[in-house]
Amino acid sequence: MSDIRQTIQQRVSDLRAAMSRNQFDAWIIPSADPHLSEYLPDYWQGRKWASGFTGSVGTLVVTDDFAGVWVDGRYWEQAEAQLAGTGVKLMKLLSGQAQPHVDWLAAHLKHGARAGADGDVLSVASARATASALQASGVKLETAKDLLSEIWSDRPALPQAAIYEHVAPYAAVSRAAKLAQVREAMQAAGAQWHFISTLDDLAWIFNLRGADVDYNPVFLAHALIGADKVTLFIDERKVSPELQATLAQDGVEIAAYDQATAALAALPAGCATLIDPARTTLGLINAIPASVRLIEKLNPSQLFKSRKTDAEIAHVREAMAQDGAALCEFFSWLDGALNKEHITELDIDTRITAARARRPGFVSASFGTIAGFNQNGALPHYHATPEAHSTIQGDGLLLIDSGGQYTGGTTDITRVVPVGKITADHRRDFTTVLKGVIALSRARFPVAIRAAMIDAIARAPMWAEGVDYNHGTGHGVGYFLNVHEGPQSIGYFREAGPDTAMQQGMITSIEPGVYRPGRWGIRIENLVVNQAAPTTEFGDFLEFETLTLCPIDTRCIERSQLTQTEADWLNQYHQTVRARLQPLVSGDALTWLIERTEAI
């Protein structure tokens, strides 16, 4: 048995001992922090630490005779491999299921049992839903303790990266203007105060960026916004005196990160405070006095930052061009090196990041590069590691999903390239996925349609061939912010509430795929922005402008599967790619660009 598996067994045993000391019959560890982030600082990687599963999402549940991690279809194969021999079971979370681990607990715990979770990393909405479901079975949810603090002796420290301003021209809207927008929304909701914990909301409102979270240029903080006062709760060592003075000019005071709870407890009686129950943790909200009226709504900044301004979109177009030029350099090298040089999946990340780093405005990768050859490509969120990766040689398909953070925008792109000889089955699947991309890219739809409702447009050409994929079709993307951003999300199993309505200026991915376990995976991903389409007697419409600039490999296409309309779309896209990138590349990269954008 490997050391890591023995370690996980010991950690689960230690957790059970802590549960016994504190009289808990079950303990829940979500993938979350006090900001409900997607990517977590090491300090809050409790689920990873206790289970050994390294995926970005998942929920660990431990009882005295069971331990299991619930994960969605993107991670099933990865989780199965990483959990093997640890005593922690893979529990498959199916599309459309809300909290199956809670259902499991309700079914397996005895009446009168006590289940626990750290309320500081549990959203208000999730805590309420969990407590309600468990209470129906006579089980009580307790959220006042953090058992990990009792057993995680070498828990990492909180990150200490300095924060900095996102300045003009890239910060196209001033901090004062953004605060005015938020205050106007507060007034409309009848709130005198607004508390915010989500890191991308804070980075957007204050035009600040940081490096506390891998890949996302954000920083750990909370904020309390009043009618004429703003307090940013942050480790003061991260904020230079000069930046503190700049913030003060906009009425922003700095307070210690751990003072947020006390500030909430000191809210004046009778006031109304706006919180987002899906984006604020129970531990923080429990500090608010009962005399304070809570107004529960989506953080107004979620909608504001999702609708990029014309100036921001112009900067994103430039970032996409620089990103596309870097990809031309990378792919031209890759084409010449495949089956000639020793290349591993790890080399892909090194090379593609180095190519981006040579481009103006580049800051970092926007997520860990996914490079999966043949069967590894069938794992939608596969990540090569030094301990487990493949050499890229022989025949098959290589899937590469990568992205960059630039001061003028965030990129996210997936391409698939042939290695050696590929088969008719490869081409059939690739072309089927491409048809889905084209179908949604060409779509026109009413303003304010729920994002989930347009999912079937991408899937229809694939369903016609009897194939599907177990993930969403598209996610929102930030502006030099998180690569995954709400509130819009394209997926038929996603929530289709009014806050997910498609609006002009939103940037979203289009990324259908086909995955053949043990054989290959294909995903093609572009980013698009909602633009106004002509108004008709039936109302206002939107259409997509494709922002991503990189050829789609025509060597993988079965031309007979494409209609002439689809082929015309692809040829026009490649004309645009060539025209935009040609001035930015030279030598082998230019030769590759010209060759890969030839019409079919």
pLDDT at 95: 67
Residue 98 has pLDDT above 80, yes or no: no
Pair (426, 566) in one structural domain: yes
Pair (462, 555) in one structural domain: yes
For residue 203, name the pLDDT band (cuts at 50, 70, 90): very high
pLDDT at 359: 98
The C-alpha angle with vertex 505 and arms to 381 and 405, in degrees rounded to 5, equals 45
For 508-537, write each residue's pLDDT tens digit: 999 999 999 999 999 999 999 999 999 999
Residue 156 lies in a domain: no
Instruction: Give the CATH number, domain containing residue 475.
Output: 3.90.230.10
Pair (239, 319) in one structural domain: no
For 144-191, write each residue's pLDDT tens digit: 999 999 999 999 999 999 999 999 999 999 999 999 999 999 999 999
Pair (321, 297) in one structural domain: no
Q: What is the 3-state secondary structure (H, E, C) of 169-186?
A: CCCCCCHHHHHHHHHHHH
Lowest-pLDDT range of 64-73, 170-179, 308-317: 64-73
Residue 552 lies in a domain: yes
pLDDT at 2: 63
Closest CA to 173 of 291, 283, 312, 43: 312
Domain limit, last residue, from 301, 321, 356: 301
Residue 55 has pLDDT above 90, yes or no: no
pLDDT at 56: 83
Pair (286, 322) in one structural domain: no
pLDDT at 1: 40
How many alpha carbons lie under 13 Å from residue 49 in its C-beta half-sphere? 21
In 74-135, alpha helices (H)? 76-83, 100-108, 124-135
CA separation for the pair 188, 198 (Å, rounded)? 21
pLDDT at 96: 64
In 136-258, alpha helices (H)? 148-151, 175-189, 199-206, 241-249
For 465-522, write each residue's pLDDT tens digit: 999 998 999 999 999 999 999 999 999 988 888 889 999 999 999 999 999 999 999 9
Pair (146, 235) in one structural domain: no
pLDDT at 78: 82
- Nearest 10 degrees: CA dihedral of 583, 587, 590, 595? 160
Pair (144, 177) in one structural domain: no
Residue 159 lies in a domain: no
Pair (334, 437) in one structural domain: yes
Residue 459 has pLDDT above 80, yes or no: yes
* Average pLDDT value for residue range 99-120: 95
Residue 214 lies in a domain: yes
Lowest-pLDDT range of 102-106, 199-203, 380-384, 427-431: 380-384
Residue 3 has pLDDT above 70, yes or no: yes
Domain limit, last residue, from 261, 279, 301: 301
Place of tokens 């994002």: 451
For 265-284, write each residue's pLDDT tens digit: 999 999 999 999 999 999 99
- % of the chain exceeding 90 in pLDDT: 92
pLDDT at 374: 96
Residue 559 has pLDDT above 60, yes or no: yes
Pair (519, 450) in one structural domain: yes
Pair (122, 72) in one structural domain: yes
The whole-chain average pLDDT of the chain stands at 95
Pair (199, 171) in one structural domain: yes
The total domain count for the chain is 3
Place of tokens 């790619």: 577
Name the residue with higher pLDDT: 462 or 96.
462
Residue 193 lies in a domain: yes
CA separation for the pair 570, 562 (Å, rounded)? 10
Place of tokens 């939608």: 380
For residue 74, name the pLDDT band (cuts at 50, 70, 90): confident
Instruction: Give the CATH number, domain containing residue 208.
Output: 3.40.350.10
Residue 116 lies in a domain: yes
Residue 589 has pLDDT above 60, yes or no: yes
- Sign of the CA dihedral with 101 first, then 104, 105, and 106 last: positive
For 560-576, write each residue's pLDDT tens digit: 999 999 999 999 999 99
Q: Which domain holds residue 32?
A: 3-151
How would you label 333-355 residue by residue, b for 16+ Cβ within 10 Å and e otherwise? bbbeebeeeebbbbbbbebbbeb
Residue 205 lies in a domain: yes
- % of the chain exceeding 70 in pLDDT: 99
Residue 523 lies in a domain: yes
For 424-444, write each residue's pLDDT tens digit: 999 999 999 999 999 999 999
Residue 552 has pLDDT above 60, yes or no: yes
Q: What is the 3-state secondary structure (H, E, C) of 350-363?
A: HHHHHHHHCCCCEE
CA 372 to chain centroid, in Å, comes to 19
* Average pLDDT value for residue range 312-339: 97
Pair (221, 367) in one structural domain: no
How many alpha carbons lie under 13 Å from residue 269 in its C-beta half-sphere? 2
Structure tokens at 521: 């995976």
Domain limit, last residue, from 301, 319, 351: 301
